[in-house]
Structure 1
Amino acid sequence: MEFNAALPRVESGIRQASPVRFGIVLLPNFTLTAFSGFVDLLRLAGDEGDLSRPVRCAWSILGESLIPVRASCGIQVTPWTTFEEAGRLDYVVVVGGLLHSGSSASRATLQFIRDSSETSATLVGMCTGAFALMQAEVMTGYRLCVSWFHYWDFIERFPQADERNLVADRLFVIDRRRITCSGGRASIDVAAAILLRHFDATIVRKALRILLVDDADKGNAPQPAPPGLRPSTHPKVKRAILLIEQHIGQPLSLGELAHRLEMSVRQLERLFNGEMDTTPLTYGRQLRLRTAAWLLTSSDRTVTEIASSCGFSDASHLGREFKKQYGEAPNAFRAHGVQPPTGVSA
């Protein structure tokens, strides 16, 4: 099943009898961009003539109480109503933000998410809102999208998660009644994908144009590449690089990498080599060595620990490969305090 395929669109001219109802839950230190991008597309698609009335769709900000919730930038938003008074909802949208800033989803919020999962509502995790869905234990058996920037945070917080269902190389993932998004600008893409389920495409495209967005990206569009990696303009290669980066500790085989990209091994090798002047396996080895070099000069972890976390069988294996690349053993490299070069080359 392709979970990121375009959602079914309504026939031209069909209009739903009642508004599509969205309940938006803002977590402490939520990301304002993810919230505003999502709700602004609802606003623009919800009415005609720039009147911003909730005609086609209606939205409300929900909370455990009516105490204002602070965004990561300091702006505060007051919930409109409490969880108990939310009423029937078609979508429950949980907007997250900073992970390392104290409180996260409260017990009442997690319970509301669990209760919503037992209704006909679709749950949407924006940015680190996906962490809250996971914490609420409503993602079992579903694929889940996180930003590449928070991939290892997710693995650390949820070691029980099935990594085969974790996606950090795409903008968003739609898996039945679960939608998760990497955050930022992609919140507009998610809103567009949802609205195309219910409205004529011309309505959604008009709203996007008002926001000066040419067209919404599909879920299988790649996330921006992490800094320090050699860039590529080809979306398949960008996704391959992200997948390699995310699986440094447990490198994917060439066959598995090609399978995840829906390509043959031969196609992947030819495309990757044409874009990067090297093979995916060589690129991955260089990236793992560069990461090991960085850990040697920026942490007090042992060589054995670094070897394990960077996908080498043991310290001896790391030592042999490291000396080929940097001309000295890991401990000597650490003693010199040499910083590894940026980028990855063949």
Structure 2
Amino acid sequence: MNSNHPSNQENKTKPLSVAFLLSPDFTLSAFSNFVDALRLAADDGDFSRQIRCKWKVLSYNSQPIRSSCGIEISPTADLVEPGLFDYIVVVGGLLHSGKKIAPPLVSYLKKAAEQNVPLVGVCTGSFILARAELMNGHKTCVSWFHHQQFEAEFPKLHVNSDSLFINDGNRITCAGSAGVMHLAAHIIEKHCGKHEASRALRIMLEEFPLSEKTPQPQPFIKNKISNINVNKAISLIERNISTPLSIEEIANKVNLSHRHLERIFQKEIGMSPAEFSIKIRINHAKNLLINTNSQVSFIAMECGFLDTSHFSRRFRIEFGKSPTEVRKEAILKHGKK
């Protein structure tokens, strides 16, 4: 990083300065989680003054930028000198819409890179940086949901979908969603202090910060399923984790017989619908044990188990350890309290 860059100056009173570039059809939650963490760390009380942190939404034409959910955000500044910012955050969005950021924004990002301003890609912002050839020689973090697409488009780049985010020199990339607030807290802690970062997360109802090495929750089935009825059945199971449907109910909803549903499940994923339902609920429970402080009894009910003892037995069969043991290991590994 350039020794003259603002983030390396020893002036502790200088606020953290962040610029946002929003892509067409950007993901609103990725932007809002980041900027809200900055807002909460920037001021005491609930005044939202830009004291410890400052932020701007940049644009080359002053037009509102439409998010993927239809809500528009108005820019607050033109493409001012990139060296004025400690970070420039690129917020990506829908890949299949075919919309790309405008050439002036690509030129601006390249100018920022030449000045050694750290570039941050959140959600599919990593694709935007890679398309601008700004991720060459850097590790890239993407969501597991977009891993194959990134790998296919950029076969020469090193891509990772295991971690929440990756800090690799002057490039930081984040899978998106809730992980963005933890990335923001990581940056806030570096520039403003641990107290400010922790306080922002607590107000956002996150009890503790997650490090960049925290694993992303992974899908239970990673391989693509070709049978449309199996996909429909999987979707029904995933949407009803707390109150599991019977196999008969699932078969009826996808207009198949119980036996035929069993056969195609076995062919596609190598297990019965009932086995799949148990495994996906157990895996969801493991994520809750690792990433929340909810009681084991609550997690058992949340994952569709009638009692804690039944849940614990199934959990030990699946992972060889009790729920309590898995939680203790996570606490030791990640330093959670």
Please indicate the TM-score interval, normalised by the length of the shorter structure.
Answer: 0.5 to 0.7
Rounded to whole Å, the distance in 2 between the matches of 1:207 and 1:30 is 24
**Alignment-mate amino acid for residue 72 of structure 1:** S
Displacement of 1:151: 0.6
Identical counterparts, % of pairs: 39
Structure richer in helix, relative to its length: 2
Structure 2 distance, partners of 1:90, 1:122, is 7
Query: 1:46 aligned to 2:51?
Result: no
Unmatched 5+ residue regions in structure 2? 1-7, 229-262, 281-317, 319-337
TM-score by length of 2: 0.64
Q: Name which of 196, 199, 203 aligns with 1:206.
A: 199
TM-score normalised by length of structure 1: 0.62
Aligned residue in 2 for 1:93 = 89
8 Å Cα contact 1:196/1:204 also seen in 2: yes
1:139 aligns with 2:132: no
1:182 is aligned, of 175, 194, 204, to: 175
Q: For 1:197, what is the secondary structure of its paired residue? A: helix
CA drift at 1:84: 4.2
- Map of 1:58 onto structure 2: 54
2:38 partner letter: L
Cα distance between partner residues in 2 of 1:108 and 1:212: 38
Query: Alignment RMSD, CA only?
Result: 2.7
Q: Which SS does the other structure have where 2:191 is aligned?
A: coil
Provide the C-alpha distance between the structure 2 equivalents of 1:36 and 1:28, rounded to a whole number of angstroms: 15
- Which letter does structure 2 place at the counterpart of 1:175? D
Q: Aligned partners of 2:131, 2:198: CA distance in 1, in Å?
A: 35
Question: What is the SS of the residue equivalent to 1:22?
Answer: strand
Distance 1:202 1:43 in 2: 14
Range that drifts further, 115-124 or 79-88: 79-88
Matches within 5 A, 1:154-169: 154-159=150-155, 161-162=156-157, 165-169=158-162
Match of 2:116 among 92, 116, 120: 120
> Residues 156-176 of structure 1, C-alpha deviation per residue, up to 9 Å, x if partnerless?
2223x23xx211111000011
Q: For the structure 1 residues 84 and 46, does the alpha-carbon distance in structure 2 shift closer, same or farther, using more than 3 Å as the test?
A: closer
Change (3 A) 1:52 1:15: farther
Q: Specify every segment of 5 or more residues in structure 1 that has no aligned partner in the other structure, as ranges.
A: 1-9, 230-244, 246-286, 299-332
1:268 equivalent in structure 2 = none
Q: Conserved in 2, the CA contact under 8 Å of 1:31 and 1:72?
A: yes
| Count, aligned residues | 233
1:49 to partner: Cα distance? 1.8
Q: Which has the higher contact order (CA 8 A, sep 6+)?
A: 1
Amino acid at match of 2:23: L
Q: Distance in 2 between matches of 1:31 and 1:222?
A: 21
Query: Hey, what's the Cα distance between the residues in 2 that align with 1:123 and 1:146?
Result: 15
- Tell me if the contact between 1:15 and 1:199 (Cα under 8 Å) persists in the aligned partners: no
Residues 82 and 112 in structure 2, CA contact (< 8 A), matched pair in contact too: no
CA shift digits 1:190-245 (9 cap, x unpaired): 0000011112211211111111110121111111111x44xxxxxxxxxxxxxxx5
Structure 2: distance between partners of 1:197 and 1:115: 24
Aligned residues of 1:62 and 1:86 also touching (Cα < 8 A): no
| Residue of structure 2 in register with 1:107 after alignment | 103
